[in-house]
Structure formats: C-alpha cells, structure tokens
A and B are shown apart, each in its own frame.
Chain A
Amino acid sequence: MKFVISGCGPAGINAALYLDKLLPEPEITLINGEPNPPYSRILTTFYLENKIEEKDLYIYDNDFFKQENVNYYEDVKVVSINKKRKTVKISNGKIIEYDKLLIATGGDPKRPSVTRIDSDKIYTVRTLVDIKKINEKINIGGKCVIMGGGLVSLKMAQALRRRGLDVTILISSQQVLSQVLDQESATIIADQLIKNGIEIKTGIKIIEIKEEKEKLKLKLEFGHIEADFAVIGKGVSPNVNFIDGTKISVDWGILTDDNLSTEETDIYAAGDVIESYNIAYQCRQLNSIWPDAVLQGITAASNMAGKAIAYSGNINMNAVDIFALPLIALGQVEELPELKIFKYENKLKQEYKKLFFAADKLVGAVLIGDIKNAGFLKQLIVNQKLVTNKEELLAPNNVLANYIF
C-alpha cells in the first residue's frame, strides 16, 4: 500500500511514524514543504531567545527518514491532486502515486493588507526560515513592533525582549490574548508583560506602513510609531491551495468525518489544516494546537491503514509561560451571563484561578501561577462530568480525592 503524506509538521510526522509501527513495511512518501529537516515549531521561539540550540529543534530521529520504505522529499510542495489517477504532483514536477493520501499541510500566517508593502522589515512567524531571518535582524538590535496580541505574538515578544530589544505590542482589540482569555485574566498577563519591559498598546488601528531611512513608520489612527522591524502575529489560514478538482470542502478548515477522512475517497486530513469539534463550545472550529495535531495524525494513520478509530474532538486549550508566570487556559473562557463563575486570587503569590460552569458542567478554566491541576480540569471539561461541589475545584490540594470518592 502506498501512503503519501503532505506536510511534515507534528500531524504528518506522527502519522508516518504510526503507519510504520502499525504495518509491516508500508511504503511511505513524506513531502516536507520546508527547506530543513522536520523540527518542532513550538521550540522556535525558545531557540530565538537562545534558551536552546538549533540542533535541539530537530526532535525526530533522523534514521526514520532514511529507512528503505520511506521516501522523503525536502523543500518541495504538493501543487495538485489527480483524483482519477490517484496521483499528486509536486513542485519539482514529479508525479507520485498514492493509495491513501494525508493532507497535513498546516496553515500559513495571515497578512493584513496594510502589511503587504514591499519591505524586508516585516516578518511573519511560522517557520524556522522566518525565525532565522528575525534572528539575523536581532543582532543589529533596536526596536520592534509586534502586530497582534495572540499566543505566538506574546511568545515572540518575550523572546525578543529577552534578547534585549525594545518591544511594543500593537493590538486591535482591547486586551491581550482576546481569543484565549477573559478581560480580567488578560489584565494579569498584560501586567506581567509590562513589568518585564514590554509596551502594550490596545485598541490600535494601523492605517499605513512605510519604510523610510532604514526605519519602518507606522501611521496609526491616532498618532504614529517608528520601529526597526515589525512582526505579524495575526493567526493562520489553512494551506489548501492544491485541492482544486477534488470534492474536498473547506469551511474554516478542511471538513472531515470522525475518521478524519475528507469528502474525497482515500484522502484524509489532520492537524491545523482541518476544523474539528470543540467539546466546550459544542461546535466545529479551527483548534490549531500541537496535541490535537499529534492525535489527529495518529488517528488518520490508523484509519488509512484500515484500523478504524474515531476522533471525536477536543477542547481549545493553551499553555504558556510569561516571564516565569505560568498560564493555562481551557475551553470556554468568557464572562457570559449564562455561565456561573468561581474565582480564587492570591495577589502576593501571583496565583489566580477562574472556573466557568454551564449549569453543573465545567466548560472553561483559567489558571495562572498555580497550574498543577490543569490536566484534571481539562478531563472534567472533555468528559462533561457533572460537578456538584464547584468551589472545591479551586483548591490546590485533594481535587482528585474529592472527585473520585
């Protein structure tokens, strides 16, 4: 059986590793769109801040790609699919046959129109190539603006600040992490960033960006700001520009069934490129996180190999360390009238917890400082357990004992 996997992020690689474990000598073709061996995307900001070395980024065993049953292509992309002949065409002109195809092409960073000017001082953050370009820029030092207040933006801000740059975050909404946190929790994170020397400007509308005398000039709705370079962190949109001529449909992301099969026969999809069911919100959305990509990769591989297993969704969740203050946000974190909210705060210890309940079910949680019980709370949300003593879940100790007995 010929398996072709397009994309070598965590979804693609874990699918390949799983196929190799599941079947005797499966013929696997891996197509890596990037010009370097597969690496861990999440580690790139740690690499940028010099916490780890470049070699630490390559977390997969290199021998796998040299195995006889594995054909590995680097720095080429899938450009089209011929569903009748069951082949894909790749950017070096080669045609590759498949019995089962996996699309695990992730997403490309969004670029707001105002940033589409001809300047080599505006960077997106997704690939190792992006990070290396920024790394070269840092050595010169200076001032950087980051557009967007999402998770990747904050990670970038932290890394750049730790490398000694002046960092300003420009956010169009009223708070950092607007997709992840409620306003109150976001204020705590913003304070921590400010305390560590990062400037945050909210409610910002950028009208125009120009390059003048080696500097970027950003014209804002009110006032303007100057910088040596800018980083865009505006989220990603799925890479699906090669699916013309197939029946695959795309809404937020590629649509799949529970077996991660697309609407086209023998074509599966996994990772950031698909939309999946969010148990906390009870709807389908893009849930672009690493653990989902891994699990979906494994699930798709199993189904491609003929062993049917289902993927029935997950919740949105994020973990990040903001200048030594750990933060985990799970599920539906919104100050809504229909949600019951329980809170704990200890300012001295920098601990803050907030739980969100819809009737008797936990649907969301924010943990700052003391994050130890996060995984347990996550499990309660995913399994939609009825929680009778809600306050108990805020305690640092004995949560499992209280719950199990």
Chain B
Amino acid sequence: MIYSELEKYNYIGSTNVPINIITIRLKERRILMKNILVDIDLCVGCKTCELQCATIRVSKSKDFIKAVLESPAPKSRIDVQTNGEENLPVQCRQCEDAPCYQACPSGAIYFTKNTDKVVIDKNKCVGCWMCVMVCPFAAINVLEEKKADKCDLCTFMDFPVCVDSCPTGALKYVESNDDLREIKVKRTSNNLKKYIKGRNNK
C-alpha cells in the first residue's frame, strides 16, 4: 500500500528521477520516517531557528555568546529566506531519491539504518562538492575546513533544535504516516514548490 503510494511519484518533472534503493528498503520494512514540516503561514522570519542551529549544532563552543565570536562564524544548517513579504525556512528536505547520496563518491553521505535519514559522515568527506552541485534545495553548506555540512534532523540528539526553538510553531516535526501523501510529495527532490505547507501550496 505504502509502496504503491510511492510509485506514483516515480515520475516527477523532466528528469524522471527513479526513487532509489531507499524506497525499496521502505517497502520491506513498511515504516516511514519523521520529517520537518514547514508552515510558511506561521513563519515571521525571526531567525531564532538559525541562531539555535548555528550555536548548538555547528559552533565549537555550543555557547551563544562565544559562538558569535568564533572564526569562521558557525553556519546555520537552516536558512530563513525571504522575498521581502514572505519567509521560507530552508533546510535539507531528506529526499528519498537523495541526489546528494547518489553523487557522493566517498561514501560520506548515507542513510541511517533505523531511521532512514540522509546524513553526512564528515570524517569521510573529501570536499569534492559533488553534493553541493546536485542538491536542488541548496541545503548543503561549504565549511571552511573543506567539508560539506547539512541538516541531519538532529538525528543523534533527542529532538531537532530548530523545531524546539521556533516561537510560532512554523516548524513541526511530524511522523510521515500522519499525512502520508503530503510528506511523500515533500520528500521528492525534483519538486521545489511542494515541500512546504502554506497558502501557496494547498
């Protein structure tokens, strides 16, 4: 049932990216992961999530005051973009057909065994920038130490810090089977517009 849902999205856009190995794993285990849902109607562009992410997940000191003084400045993995009127928090969308995973020649990008999250093992990263070249959401940061860095949904922690810190509830951490279809569309790399919830995307 879940698999046939997935299959519907095999062809999206002009590249016809086949949903890769990961889909098949989902078929076997019939579970789906949690992902961050962005509700743009609620985002006021305060960038609290950026500060929290940069401090807790990226900075060396993990302390807000000290993090500001660090050089290089810690780069948040979530980027709150704006067109002047509306705000759009952008981070890794955890694509099922993850182009970054397909492009990485070093084995640094992998899917976690139990939770199916796309993460980067920095020790293996050689800084070839293949992943930056193919991520349709421009969600990968180039660190000064010549490593690629991106949101891992705080996989190795209790809860995503951005979701935790968002004062308006614009970021939600939801189970995929809460609303399967919506998340499915959102997790496909070739579908820029549909990964957020809000007035433009009902």
Is A43 close to B, CB under 8 A? yes
B18 touches A309 (CB 8 A): yes
Partner of B126, one of A46, A310, A403, A405: A46
With A and B bound together, what is the CA distance between A5 and B90 in angstroms? 40
**Which parts of A364-398 form the interface with B (CB within 8 Å)?**
371-376, 378-379, 382-384, 397-398
Is B82 close to A, CB under 8 A? yes
Q: Which residues of chain A have C-beta atoms less than 8 A from B79's C-beta?
A: 397
Q: Which residues of chain B have C-beta atoms less than 8 A from A326's C-beta?
A: 129, 132, 142
B81 touches A400 (CB 8 A): yes
B14 touches A279 (CB 8 A): yes
B108 CB to closest chain A CB (Å) equals: 9
B84 CB to closest chain A CB (Å) equals: 9
A291 touches B103 (CB 8 A): yes
B126 touches A52 (CB 8 A): yes
Partner of B128, one of A18, A321, A372, A401: A321
Which of B25, B87, B192 gathers the greatest number of chain A CB atoms within 10 Å? B192
B10 touches A309 (CB 8 A): yes
Is B140 close to A, CB under 8 A? yes
A221 CB to closest chain B CB (Å) equals: 35
Q: Which residues of chain B have C-beta atoms less than 8 A from A378's C-beta?
A: 133-134, 136
Say yes or no: A375-B146 contact (C-beta < 8 A), given A295-B102, A312-B14, A405-B88: no
Is A302 close to B, CB under 8 A? yes
Is B99 close to A, CB under 8 A? yes
B188 CB to closest chain A CB (Å) equals: 12
B13 touches A405 (CB 8 A): no
B70 CB to closest chain A CB (Å) equals: 19
**Which parts of A35-94 form the interface with B (CB within 8 Å)?**
40-43, 46, 51-52, 56, 59-60
Which of A43, A310, A405 gathers the greatest number of chain B CB atoms within 10 Å? A405
Q: Which residues of chain A have C-beta atoms less than 8 A from B107's C-beta?
A: 40, 59-60
Question: How does the 8 Å CB contact mask read for B70-112 relative to A, with 1 for contact and 0 for none?
Answer: 0000000001011101111010000000010011011100000
With A and B bound together, what is the CA distance between A298 and B23 in angstroms? 12
- Residue on B nearest A47 in the bound complex, by CB: B126
Q: Which residues of chain B have C-beta atoms less than 8 A from A372's C-beta?
A: 132, 138, 140-142
With A and B bound together, what is the CA distance between A294 and B138 in angstroms? 21
B17 touches A295 (CB 8 A): yes
Is B20 close to A, CB under 8 A? yes
Is A402 close to B, CB under 8 A? yes
Say yes or no: A400-B138 contact (C-beta < 8 A), given A405-B86, A405-B200: yes
- Residue on A nearest B28 in the bound complex, by CB: A21
Q: Which residues of chain B have C-beta atoms less than 8 A from A313's C-beta?
A: 15
Say yes or no: A56-B146 contact (C-beta < 8 A), given A319-B132, A398-B81: no
B16 touches A310 (CB 8 A): yes
With A and B bound together, what is the CA distance between A375 and B142 in angstroms? 13
A401 touches B138 (CB 8 A): no
B102 CB to closest chain A CB (Å) equals: 5
With A and B bound together, what is the CA distance between A10 and B135 in angstroms? 19
Is A399 close to B, CB under 8 A? yes
Say yes or no: A291-B99 contact (C-beta < 8 A), given A321-B127, A373-B138: yes
Is B69 close to A, CB under 8 A? no
Is A186 close to B, CB under 8 A? no
Is B193 close to A, CB under 8 A? yes
With A and B bound together, what is the CA distance between A61 and B146 in angstroms? 26
Q: Which residues of chain B have C-beta atoms less than 8 A from A248's C-beta?
A: none
A379 touches B88 (CB 8 A): no
B105 touches A43 (CB 8 A): yes
Is B130 close to A, CB under 8 A? yes
B186 CB to closest chain A CB (Å) equals: 13
B137 touches A291 (CB 8 A): no
Question: How does the 8 Å CB contact mask read for B1-25 relative to A, with 1 for contact and 0 for none?
Answer: 0000000001101111110110011
With A and B bound together, what is the CA distance between A205 and B125 in angstroms? 38
With A and B bound together, what is the CA distance between A398 and B80 in angstroms? 8
B14 touches A374 (CB 8 A): no
Partner of A400, one of B88, B126, B130: B88
Is B124 close to A, CB under 8 A? yes
The list of the 5 closest CB pairs from A to B, nearest first, reads: A401-B81, A59-B107, A375-B135, A42-B105, A319-B129
Q: List 5 A-B contacts (CB under 8 A).
A: A42-B130, A46-B126, A291-B99, A397-B79, A402-B81
